[in-house]
Every structure is written in C-alpha cells, then in structure tokens.
Amino acid sequence: KPIVAIVGRPNVGKSTLFNRLTGGRVAIVEDQPGVTRDRLYRDANWLEREFTVVDTGGLDFGDRDNPFSAIIHKQAEAAMEEADVIMFMVDGRSGITADDEAVATILRKAKKPVFLVVNKIEDFSQKERYFDFYSLGLGDPIPISASHGMNTGDLLDAVVAALPENNGEEDDPDAIKIAVIGRPNVGKSSLVNAILGQERVIVSDIPGTTRDAIDTAFDRDGKRYILIDTAGMRRKGRIDEAVERYSVMRSLRAIDRSDVVLMVIDASQGVTEQDKKIAGYAHEAGKACVLVLNKWDLVPKDEKTMNRFDKVVRSEMGFLAYAPTIYVSALTKQRLPKILELVDFVAEQATRRISTSVLNELLADIQRVTPAPTDRGRRLKILFVTQTAVKPPTFVFFVNDEDLFHFSYRRHVENRFRETFGFEGVPMRFFIRQRE
Ligand code: GDP
C-alpha cells in the first residue's frame, strides 16, 4: 500500500486530520492482550484506493533534549524518504512560523507530491487566511477544517490522484516473499548476506516500484524466494542511518508485500519496546512470522538458556505466541539453514484450508467438552464455522448472540484450533456473525 505522511509542527491539527481520514478503523485482530497498538499508522481508503496514513507528529524521534526544530526536520526527512505523498499541514489561524518555513525549505526539495494543507479554516471566503501560505513555495494552499471535515474530501481526491499506480508489483506469484525486519543493528544486513551467500541468487537488487528495500530472488530446491531486505538501502548508501532509525515506514511496506516475516531480534540485547512495535505490525498485517534471535554467539549460555529466552520472548511478545523462535548467529552461521526451513513451514501453514465438515466436528467437540460460560442466564451457541480465507487463515463463526462470544472463549477456541490443525507461525482471524 502506498504511504501518505502528514508533517507539521505540533497543534496544527495533524492527529485530528489523521483520525478523520482513517475514521477510527479498527484492526480485525481486536482485543488481543499484548498487541502494541501504535496508532500512528492506519489504513484508509478513498475512491477504492487503499493507502496507509502516517502521523509523523507522533513518531518518536528519540532524544528529548533535541531542539524542536531538529525533530521536525527529521520528521520531514523521514517523510520525504519513505512516503509516496506528503501532506504538509500548517495553521491558518496562527499564520506562517519560522518552523513552517524551515520545513518548507526541506520539502521543496522533495521529489514526491507535497500538498500544502492549511488547517483551521472554517470560512473559505477568508482568503487572506490561507493565501499567505503561497509564499512557502509549495503550490496552492488547500484550506480545510480537519475538525469540521470541511474540504477534506477534496483534499483526499487530490491525494489519491497523486498516489503512484501499482504498476504491477506482481513480482512472481509463486515465489515466497520474505521480509527481513527489525531495529537497526540487530543484524538484518548480516543475515541477509549470510543467507544469500548460501543460495543460488537469480537476480539481485530487483528494481521495483518501491525504493525502500532491496529485493533479491533466489532458488532453493526448485523453489523460488524473494528476500525483501529493508536494511539494504542503507548498505547501498542510499539512506543514512539516522533516517532509518526513526522510521518504521520501510518495515511496514516490506511487511505488506511479504508472505513471511523474519522478525530479527538481537539476542544479546533482549526484547525492546521497538521490537514489540515492529513485530506488532507483522501480527496485525496477518503475516506468517518467524522470530529470529540473532547474535546468539554473544550470549553466554548453558543448556537451559534457550528455554529461558523463549519464556522471556513469549511473555514480552505474547501476541506472537504462534511464531516459532530460532536462535542463530549471522557471524558464526550457526543454524542459518534452518531459517529457510522454517520459512517454508510457516508459509505452508498460512495457506492451509480446513474443510467445513472437519471444522464443525471440532466445533461440536469443543462445545461439548467446554461449553461457553453463561452470561445473564444465556449461553453462547456457535452454530456453524467455515474458513473463508487463507494468508491469514480466516474463519467466520455464526452464533446465537455475538455479545456472548467473550474473549476468553474465543481464545479457547483458537487454542483448540491450533492444537488440532497447527497453523504454526500464522495469526488467525475470527469473524463473528449473529444468526437468529
Ligand atoms: P542491521 O542494521 O540490522 O542490518 O544490522 P547489521 O547487519 O548492520 O549488523 C550490526 C552489527 O552487528 C554489525 O557490526 C555486525 O557485524 C554485527 N552482527 C550482526 N550479526 C551478528 C551476529 O550474529 N553475531 C555478532 N557477534 N555480531 C553480529
């Protein structure tokens, strides 16, 4: 999906516009405890086009002691580097500030469409309120009122028209696409190089519509893979580390295009907040996932260390309980061949289909052995279940009363499904429909 970034100084109304554009759309994998909900990235659609909106104002640019102008500078750079379309938002009530001018200076160099959005204009006849902004040199100012939703439709029309065509990112439909994601310095590049060093590379650096990852195709045992390397751009010197550090947009897009996510974690550092955030995207995107704990050579260990690590990973990233872990070293090449075996395995799990009759037999058994608890004298009855999709496996349950399908019972059903069918490494999606 293309990415639309909203840039601007605080209080101009970025998050109001963000909320309006994304309409509080909630991911389907709701109420799963432990999912890190970073609401700065949300999917939106307009005129049948889907895109992701990013509120750069909420991005954590780390260093609190940095002067504000430096932070907004980074926001603008990250947006220029990674977004397809930029909305630069200014405040029509306060007029142009020095920060606005600084950002405009950066954005004027952008090679992507930039829309100059003047917010807080409730009366479009007050042209003097927004005509001033012509001096920023970013074209026609577009007046809107984010809080009243005035002119936001026209703004979206323009934005959608400027989105890049998906000029057939059809890659190779049979290839397994693997996204290698993780924080900077966890060893993504090293892993990619080590993996590719052992495989028969067909094409490297496949030119694509996206410029924020390097794709490499290789064959193994007659199967085709495409490795999506988010760290590769930095390696090629096309992006500097500061921008990479502050941006998850490239990870998002790589995840979006992938079949399997290799979530790389630095075992010598343990699981960090940023790891959880990035992993959360893979989970929400419904992708098959393998947790790769790299730099295992640096960890002093005995025979129990791996188990202990597994426990930590499970408690820190409970929402990824289904994802297998593997402990590797890009340096010593320990267990590297095992990574692709796991990739094959989870990729296959993600495409499994269970027949409706088998599903409903299991469902009857679940309800017989563990009936749903009653709620105000009523008991949930699941009448029927069917699998409606793969990648991720998606199930629709028809029930007597959807309010009775509580989280705990849903979790129980999910666990029984996993015990019975596997689905290792893949999230499952449940939809509930009420039937009279
Ligand atoms: P990226 O930012 O995730 O792509 O990380 P890099 O691949 O650039 O690696 C960051 C640093 O960690 C480099 O100095 C690597 O040499 C080092 N490194 C990567 N993998 C390993 C590993 O398995 N063991 C050790 N000891 N160092 C590693």
User: Which residue in 358, 409, 407, 413 sits closest to 387, CA to CA?
Assistant: 358
194 and 116 assigned to the same domain: no
Q: What is the pLDDT of residue 387?
A: 93
| Residue 316 in domain | yes
Please give the number of the atom of ligand 1 that sits closest to the Cα of 183.
3
pLDDT band at 170 (very low <50, low <70, confident <90, very high): low
pLDDT-derived band at 213 (thresholds 50, 70, 90) equals confident
Q: What is the DSSP letter of 38?
A: -
**Domain identity same for 189 and 338:** yes
**391's tokens:** 């990648």
Domain finish residue from 328, 350, 372: 350
Is residue 130 assigned to a domain?
yes
- Picking from 331, 350, 369, the residue at the C-terminal end of a domain is 350
Host domain of residue 257: 176-350
For the chain, what is the mean pLDDT? 85
Q: Are residues 15 and 89 in the same domain?
A: yes
Ligand 1 centroid to 189 CA: how many Å?
Answer: 7
The C-alpha atoms of residue 115 and residue 311 are separated, in whole angstroms, by 48
**Predicted structure pTM score:** 0.74
Backbone phi, psi, residue 281, to 5°: -65, -40
Strand arrangement of the beta sheet that strand 260-266 belongs to = 200-206, 214-220, 223-229, 176-181, 260-266, 288-294, 325-327
ipTM summary value:
0.92
- Residue 168 lies inside a defined structural domain of this protein: no
State in Å: Cα 295 to ligand 1 middle: 7
312 and 390 in a single domain? The answer is no
Task: Provide mean pLDDT across the span 175-179.
Answer: 94
Region 230-252: what's the mean pLDDT? 65
CATH number of the domain at 23, please: 3.40.50.300
Q: Report how many domains make up the chain.
A: 3
381: domain CATH number? Answer: 3.30.300.20
* Ligand 1 nearest-atom number relative to CA 329: 23
32-66 pLDDT, tens digit each: 433 334 456 777 888 888 888 887 765 655 555 66
Q: Tell me if 31 is assigned to some domain.
A: yes
Closest Cα to atom 20 of ligand 1: 187
- pLDDT for 35 equals 39
State yes or no: 318 annotated in a binding site. Answer: no
Both structure tokens of 207 = 């030119």
